[in-house]
């Protein structure tokens, strides 16, 4: 039974029993305490806590999940995985143990021909929390499981929470006996390899506080209602139903693993080390594709770092399998999309975008590997020169942290050089970094209280009506006031507040569009609104300060936005849609929006692209979009179903979340996108769009900055004035300016080169004079000299070597030259071989001079360079060198 069919059967079973089928939420968690969705119940957490009223009494879902706690163990075993799917059925105060347990048993044991999974009843075991007599009785008396196949376990095994403050409760788990060939008899308590967990029924009764992940945390009290959260791992169920040993051999994983083996000419099951690498590639490709599909982009922090780490581990393991610098991620991405699209059809629609992001990360990391290898070689050379057999942990950590060089690669390459790595030092530095990150994350956790107040407002007053598509002001009512995160009945003048209105024309920041600003007036107060947010779906919060009077809950209010600001932002938002369409027309459908910011008069547009966009393409897109403005196309917005929107070809923003009903914004027949923002009535209202710049902001992502409307016109007006001034000064027509300026720049560069040549010749001309005038110090010729300011550091070096070369080969000579190339002094010291034989080292002499100059430096024994910050100390520096040489020789 294929994975997609397992998911379909599960959802259909519970749908037939009154459960609402809820599509998988994005892997990007809305919960502020979580980086990524790590359990099937995460999207329903506010319902369990009573923070929001559930829209349905019971639900079922197949939820995408990412867990990174054991990422370093992925591949080493066949049990660990970073990406998996959790099938679940949920009750929000509707039913409890007496229905949840029989549901699970019925679906598992029902014959496949009747829509079940066909498990033999005598091979299923149950575990319950040690004091949960109710669950044990249901298993035995209602379901009929013999007492000897019902085992009791403690908090670690049969009490569930997310590991952070939130809902929790006892659970009962169902295990499948795979047979004596997999381990010893005795049930799950004896051997969890033989007895494999297939289902977990969690009975959400309590709320936990801070504390250890598994046990020992405080139980704060009971939840508002007794609820059910169940989970069945799809991959584990697939392994059993497909008759394979582990999750890496099921349909959706093995096809990726097999393709990786084919590309690298390896074979799974032959070499344990290769097997580890193949499992890493298979798991991380699934995780990477799903994360990119949900809009996560590689970065060095947060969830972007999770993605980057996984993709780079996959690339690294392909290299271990013999890929070298070959690029195989495109092929593996295609295979992953193919096998996962049976459950997530949107992956095919987003395929071009996913390929662009992952291909760019592969190219970037292969470059990193080359850079890291060069730095590693230097570290090895230094270690060998010092006679060290161990590469310091600090250097391994720097390679990992600064250059993204994996520690396992450092270990492998060090072994090839006959060196070990101070792994303990490396691990210590890594732990210190993780501890800092955890402390920072803990400080940033906002917990459940942050949204509970808004949830209460939503439950009491209902969803806030947004009127801003048609109105710029509205009569309303104050239904909530928050000060420093807490609900208050009133707030006086000068207080910073968060105000919730029953209805509002203010647009809350979202979809790249900045929030509206404006004012809220009541009969007794006036509030200046500077920001608007939507912390909970359905609640619009106006942030600002009470200018005068006292604002009270229940007051009638008049809300009025800054109309000119809104119009300017709306022009920018519509312009973003047009530029998005223009880049897709020019570069193909892979040029997908990856972020935007719509501000008054200007906008920023990020999109996926393999490389820099040629200037000619930028001009073409700009011309095409401005032609749309001239045609003054009508802008139309309407609501439809998501399925209908996709059928119409409407663009959904890469990684954006949408409900069943979506809003489409059309600009004539040119552009059609899903969008909840505000827009102009017709394209002609934009006036003009001017692309200012195009640049890279990360692997596979480009950014365009542009002006729109009056801001674009004013910029071009200033440019026109500037061109007129240049034309007048250069006595050339406008069209002749590029050629004329190019000629001037060419002549100027030639003149600068000639001046540099003459300056260098002038500096070097004194070489003979300096050698002749060398001071004799106990048989050593010593030259200390300051060149004119402005002499380049390169010329200082050439002069020092030239002077040194003018002494006989058997005559000890030391030459120290200093000067101020720019604003900081530089010193160069050289010592020939006879001088070095007498203990005079260039590096040591540079150190003496540089210290006097307020800086530092170093180099080899024969030539070294340093510098400082105090040009006025040059005489002292040269004197210090003379004294050091004299003292050493005497």
DSSP annotation of 130 reads: T
SS percent in the chain: helix, strand, coil, step 5:
45, 25, 30
168 is in an annotated binding site: no
Strand ranges in 573-682 using DSSP code E only, listed in sequence order: 593-599, 602-608, 635-641, 661-667, 671-674
Residue 145 DSSP SS3: coil
The C-alpha atoms of residue 34 and residue 54 are separated, in whole angstroms, by: 21
Backbone angles phi, psi at 137, to 5 degrees: -65, -40
Euclidean distance between CA atoms 701 and 47, whole angstroms = 37
Q: Which residues contact 887 (CB under 8 A, 6 or more apart)?
A: none
Contact 802, 764 (CB under 8 A): yes
Pairing status of strand 826-831 against strand 856-859: unpaired
CB 855 within 8 A of CB 752: no
- Bridge-based pairing of strands 20-22 and 58-66 is parallel
Q: Helices marked H in 204-271 — which ranges? A: 234-241, 251-264
Residue whose structure tokens are 């979580």: 34
In this structure, are residues 846 and 864 in contact, taking their beta carbons and an 8 Å threshold?
yes
What are the C-alpha distances in Å from 293 to residues 254, 346, 606, 791? 21, 8, 16, 56
How far is Cα 439 from Cα 803, in angstroms, rounded to an integer? 58
- What element of type H or E holds 722? helix 710-730
Establish whether 679 is an annotated binding residue.
yes
Residue in 593, 514, 522 with CA at minimum distance from that of residue 560? 522
> Rounded distance, CA 413 to CA 78, Å?
27
What is the spatial distance between Cα 513 and Cα 522, in angstroms, rounded to a whole number? 28
Give which of 747, 805, 748 is closest to 781, Cα–Cα: 805
Binding site membership for Zn(2+): which residues?
573, 577, 675, 679
Binding site membership: which residues?
573, 577, 675, 679
């Amino acid at each position: 039974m294929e994975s997609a069919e397992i998911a379909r059967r599960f959802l259909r079973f519970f749908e037939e029993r009154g459960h609402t089928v809820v599509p998988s939420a994005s892997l990007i968690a809305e919960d502020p305490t979580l980086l990524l969705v790590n359990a099937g119940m995460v999207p329903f957490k506010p319902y369990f806590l009573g923070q929001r009223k559930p829209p349905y009494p019971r639900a079922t879902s197949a939820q995408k999940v990412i867990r990174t706690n054991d990422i370093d163990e992925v591949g080493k075993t066949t049990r660990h995985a970073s990406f998996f799917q959790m099938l679940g059925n949920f009750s929000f105060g509707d039913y409890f143990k007496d229905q949840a347990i029989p549901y699970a048993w019925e679906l598992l044991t029902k014959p496949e021909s009747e829509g079940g999974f066909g498990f033999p009843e005598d091979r299923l075991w149950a575990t319950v929390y040690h004091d949960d007599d109710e669950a044990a009785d249901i298993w035995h008396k209602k379901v009929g499981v013999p007492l000897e196949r019902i085992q009791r376990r403690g908090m670690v095994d049969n009490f569930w929470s997310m590991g952070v403050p939130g809902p929790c409760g006892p659970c009962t788990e169902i295990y499948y006996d795979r047979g004596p060939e997999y381990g010893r008899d005795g049930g799950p308590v004896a051997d969890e390899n033989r007895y494999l967990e297939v289902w977990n029924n969690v009975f959400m009764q309590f709320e936990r506080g801070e504390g250890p992940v598994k046990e020992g945390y405080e139980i704060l009290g009971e939840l508002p209602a007794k609820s059910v959260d169940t989970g069945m791992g799809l991959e584990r169920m697939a392994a059993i139903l497909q008759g394979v040993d582990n999750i890496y051999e099921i349909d959706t994983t093995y096809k990726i693993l097999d393709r990786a083996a084919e590309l690298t000419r390896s074979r799974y099951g032959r070499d344990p080390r290769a097997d580890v690498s193949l499992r890493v590639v298979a798991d991380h490709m699934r995780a990477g594709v799903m994360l990119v599909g949900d809009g996560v982009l590689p970065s060095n922090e947060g969830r972007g770092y999770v993605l980057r780490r996984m993709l780079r581990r996959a690339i690294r393991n392909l290299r271990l399998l013999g890929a070298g610098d070959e690029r195989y991620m495109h092929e593996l991405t295609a295979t992953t999309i193919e096998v996962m699209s049976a459950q997530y059809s949107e992956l095919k629609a987003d395929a071009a975008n996913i390929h662009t992001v992952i291909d760019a990360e592969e190219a970037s990391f292969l470059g990193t590997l080359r850079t890291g290898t060069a730095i590693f070689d230097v570290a090895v050379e230094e270690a060998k020169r010092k006679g060290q057999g161990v590469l310091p942990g600090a250097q391994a950590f720097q390679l990992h942290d600064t250059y993204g060089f994996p520690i396992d690669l450092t270990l492998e390459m060090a072994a090839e050089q006959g060196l070990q790595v101070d792994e303990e030092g490396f691990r210590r530095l890594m732990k210190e970094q993780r501890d800092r990150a955890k402390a920072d994350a803990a400080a940033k956790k906002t917990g459940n209280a942050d949204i509970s107040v808004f949830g209460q407002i939503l439950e009491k007053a209902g969803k806030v009506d947004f009127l801003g598509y048609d109105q710029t002001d509205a009569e309303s009512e104050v239904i909530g006031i928050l000060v420093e995160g807490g609900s208050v009945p009133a707030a006086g003048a000068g207080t910073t507040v968060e105000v919730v209105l029953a209805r509002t024309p203010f647009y809350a920041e979202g979809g790249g569009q900045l929030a509206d600003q404006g004012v809220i007036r009541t009969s007794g107060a006036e509030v200046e609104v500077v920001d608007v947010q939507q912390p909970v779906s359905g609640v619009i919060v106006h942030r600002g300060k009470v200018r005068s009077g006292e604002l009270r809950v229940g007051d009638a209010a008049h809300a009025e936005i800054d109309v000119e600001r809104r119009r300017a932002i709306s022009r920018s938002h519509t312009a973003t849609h047009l530029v998005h369409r223009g880049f897709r027309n020019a570069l193909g459908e892979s040029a997908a929006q990856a972020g935007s910011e719509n501000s008054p008069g200007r906008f920023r547009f990020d999109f996926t692209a393999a490389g820099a966009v040629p200037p000619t393409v930028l001009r073409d897109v700009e011309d095409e979009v401005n032609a749309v403005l001239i045609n003054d196309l009508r802008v139309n917005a309407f609501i439809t179903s998501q399925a209908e929107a996709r059928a119409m070809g409407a663009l959904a923003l890469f990684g954006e979340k949408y409900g069943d009903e979506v809003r489409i914004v059309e600009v004539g027949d040119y552009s059609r996108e899903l969008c909840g923002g505000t827009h102009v009535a017709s394209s002609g209202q934009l006036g003009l769009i001017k692309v200012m710049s195009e640049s890279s902001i990360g692997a596979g992502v480009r950014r365009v900055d542009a002006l729109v409307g009056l801001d674009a016109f004013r910029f071009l007006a200033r440019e026109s004035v500037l061109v007129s001034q240049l034309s007048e000064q250069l006595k050339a027509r406008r069209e002749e300016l590029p050629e004329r300026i190019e000629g001037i720049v060419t002549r100027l560069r030639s003149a600068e080169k000639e001046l540099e040549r003459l300056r260098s010749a002038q500096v070097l001309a004194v070489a003979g004079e300096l050698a002749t005038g060398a001071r004799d110090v106990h048989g050593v010729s010593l030259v200390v000299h300051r060149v004119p300011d402005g002499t380049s550091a390169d010329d200082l070096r050439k002069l020092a070597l030239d002077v040194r070369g003018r002494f006989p080969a058997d005559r000890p000579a030391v030459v120290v030259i200093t000067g101020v190339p720019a604003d900081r002094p530089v010193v160069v010291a050289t010592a020939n071989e006879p001088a070095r034989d007498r203990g005079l080292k260039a590096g040591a002499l540079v150190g003496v001079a540089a210290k006097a100059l307020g800086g530092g430096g170093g180099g080899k024994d024969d030539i070294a360079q340093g510098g400082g910050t105090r040009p006025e100390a040059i005489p002292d520096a040269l004197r210090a060198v003379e004294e050091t040489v004299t003292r050493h020789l005497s």
